[in-house]
Amino acid sequence: MSSFEDGLDAELGAGLAKFPALPDFRDVPASRQALADLMVKYPRVANTSGVNIKDRRIAGMEGAPQVRVRVYRRATGGRGVPGLLYMHGGGYIVGTPEAEDDPVCHIVREVGCVAVSVDYRLSPEHKAPAAVEDCYAALKWMHTSAAALGIDDKRIAIGGRSAGGGLAAGLALMARDRAEVFPVFQMLIYPMIDDRTAAARGAAISDPRVWNHDHNGRAWAHYLASAPGGPQTSPYAAACRAKDLSGLPPAYIAIGEAEVFLQENIAYAQRLKEAGVSTELHVFPGAFHGWEGSLPTAAISQRAINERVAVLTRAFRG
C-alpha cells in the first residue's frame, strides 16, 4: 500500500482499490474515448426522478457560436425560485452536462432551485477564455430570461466541480468586472484555479487512478494559450492569478485532503477572506479528487453532498 493510500478515508480507500487507471490525457481525443469506454464498462444511472430536463441553445458572446445549456426544473416547482448556473468538471478538456445529471438533479430536488448547466467549449480545440465566455453568455441569458425560467433574477448562484469550480471562480471575477449580472454566491467544489500548481515540482500525488500532478499539468497545457505558470495567464482562466479579490460574492470551497488542488484552494480561501469576502472552507480528511462523485454512498461523500445542499439553501435565503 502506498503512502497516498495510507492517508485515505477507509471507505474511500476500499473503493479506490477497485478503480482502473485514468487515461493519461496526452492525446485528448484518445483520452475522451477511453473515458467513454470506462463509462460503458462501469455504467452509472443518474437519479433524475422528480426533475424535468430540457436542452436549449442560446446565443454565445459576440463572435462566438451558440452555447447548449441543460435546464433542470423540479417537477413540482413554482415560480420565483432561486437559480444555479452550474459548470461540469473534466479538467477543461473532457466532460458534458449529462455526465453530472445526478448531482445537479439532487440539488434541484433538495434546494428547490432551477439549475442551468453549461456545455462550454472544451480545450485543446478551444483555448481559454472560450469556456468562461460561454459560461458568461449563459449567466447573462439566465438573468435576462429569469421570468421565462421562473427564477428570481436577484437569487442566481454559480458553481461547479473541479474545472467547473474553476470556471465558476473565473466567472465570479468576470461578472464583477463587467458589472452586468451579480451572482449572489459561488459554490466551488475542489476548484481547479491555479496553473502554477501544474508547473510546480515534487508534487506528492501520482496515483494514476485519481487526478494527479501529471494529469493536471497536461490539462493546463491543453487549456491555456501560453505555458502553465507563465506571466500571461488570465485570472479568468486561473482565479488564483487575480490580484484583487474584493467585491466577489460569498464563497464556499470544498476540497479533499488527498488532493492536487489542496494548497491552491486553501490559499484562495484565505485570500478571499483577507479581501473581505465571506468564505467557508471545508477540507474533507482522507478524500481524493472527485471522491463523492466516484463513491457517493460512502459516509464522507454523503456529508459532502448534504453540505452542498445546506450551503446553497442558506445562500438563497440570504
For every residue of 28-57, DSSP letters joined together read HHHHHHHHHHHHHHS------TTEEEEEEE
For the whole prediction, is pTM greater than 0.95? Answer: yes
**CATH number of domain containing 11:** 3.40.50.1820
From CA 55, how far away is CA 69, in angstroms rounded? 6
- For residue 234, the model assigns a pLDDT of 98
Q: Tell me how long the chain is.
A: 318
Total domain count, the chain? 1
Range of the domain at 210: 3-317
pLDDT tens for each residue of the chain, 318 residues long:
678 999 999 999 999 999 999 999 999 999 999 999 999 988 889 999 999 999 999 999 999 999 999 999 999 988 999 999 999 999 999 999 999 999 999 999 999 999 999 999 999 999 999 999 999 999 999 999 999 999 999 999 999 999 999 999 999 999 999 999 999 999 999 999 999 998 776 557 999 999 999 999 999 999 999 999 999 999 999 999 999 999 999 999 999 999 999 999 999 999 999 999 999 999 999 999 999 999 999 999 999 999 999 999 999 998
Q: In this structure, is the dihedral angle defined by the CA atoms of residues 262, 272, 133 and 160, taken in order, positive or negative?
A: positive
Using DSSP's 3-state secondary structure scheme, residue 104 falls into: helix
The answer to whether the beta carbons of residues 157 and 312 sit under 8 Å apart is yes
C-beta atoms surrounding 15 within 10 Å: 18
Query: What pLDDT is stored for residue 42 in this prediction?
Result: 87
With a CB cutoff of 8 Å and minimum separation 6, the contacts of 261 are 190, 191, 192, 193, 194, 197, 255, 289
Q: Determine the distance from the C-alpha atom of residue 157 to the mean position of all C-alpha atoms in its chain, rounded to a whole number.
A: 13
